[in-house]
Amino acid sequence: MSKLYTKLGESAWTKVDKINSEIFTLTYGEVVNSLIQDYETSEEVNAQLDEMGYSIGIRMIDEFLAISEVEQCKSFRDTGEILAKVACKMYLGVDAVCKYWTEDDSAFTLELKTNPFVDFVELPQKYKDLWYCNIICGIIRGSLDTLQISVDVKYQKCVLRGHNTNEIRVTLKSSNKENSSKKN
């Protein structure tokens, strides 16, 4: 199943338009800078980034389903795999993995070894509580929400904070499984 998703991810990656990574990174950097000037504290900026991501996610999910042609997921586990192998590949060009599943498959950690958002970036001391890429958490939350899957998404580790990898924890809150988790 995993191989299928990897293949889908790669074919989706070839189908989409690409953009120069520097313009993307620099633009995102300015977005974060601008938010910091408006909101000043790291917690508020984190919350704003999450909201922005949510707004992006609810729109992105339709495009994703159309381009990637994934089938309906049978379980949250499939959801996680598709998120890692197809969505991350398609939108960020990175190969992510799902790890640390709980016993009942209700939560997992998404690990991204590389992240195009953080090229060149160094977090200054006064913003050490900032989750720079929190927008990704919002995007995941927004897309899954549109599919009636309610999740809690939080950043666990970030390379900008000195960790060696990026980790996002996704926890299932509830889902209308009768409608069947068409996953993002």
Measured CA angle at 170 (ends 166, 175), to 5 deg: 160
Give me the least distance between CB of 168 and other proteins, in Å please.
21
| Among positions 104, 122, 164, 178, the unique one binding other proteins when judged by CB under 8 A | 122
* Binding flag, residue 88, other proteins (CB under 8 A): no
Which CB atom, from 37 or from 72, has the smaller least distance to other proteins? 37
What φ, ψ does residue 168 adopt, rounded to 5°? -120, 130
* Segment lying near other proteins (by CB under 8 A), choices 3-11, 26-34, 41-49, 58-66: 26-34
| Among positions 8, 32, 84, 90, the unique one binding other proteins when judged by CB under 8 A | 32
Which CB atom, from 91 or from 127, has the smaller least distance to other proteins? 127
What are the residues whose beta carbons fall under 8 Å from the beta carbon of 100, sequence distance 6 or more? 108, 109
| Among positions 127, 145, 150, 182, the unique one binding other proteins when judged by CB under 8 A | 127
Amino acid at 94: V
* Binding flag, residue 30, other proteins (CB under 8 A): yes
* Binding flag, residue 39, other proteins (CB under 8 A): no
CA distances from 182 to 69, 102, 145, 171 (A): 11, 21, 11, 17
Is residue 134 a contact partner of residue 53, using CB atoms and an 8 Å limit? yes
Is residue 145 a contact partner of residue 58, using CB atoms and an 8 Å limit? yes
CB burial class (10 A; 0-12, 13-18, 19+) of residue 14? exposed
Between CA 139 and CA 82 the distance in angstroms is 15
Give me the least distance between CB of 28 and other proteins, in Å please.
8
| Token pair in block for residue 161 | 């904070």
- Total interface residues for other proteins by CB under 8 A: 14
Which parts of 90-119 interact with other proteins (CB under 8 A)? 119
* Binding flag, residue 22, other proteins (CB under 8 A): yes
Give me the least distance between CB of 46 and other proteins, in Å please.
16
Which residues are near other proteins by CB under 8 A? 22, 25-26, 29-30, 32-33, 119-124, 127
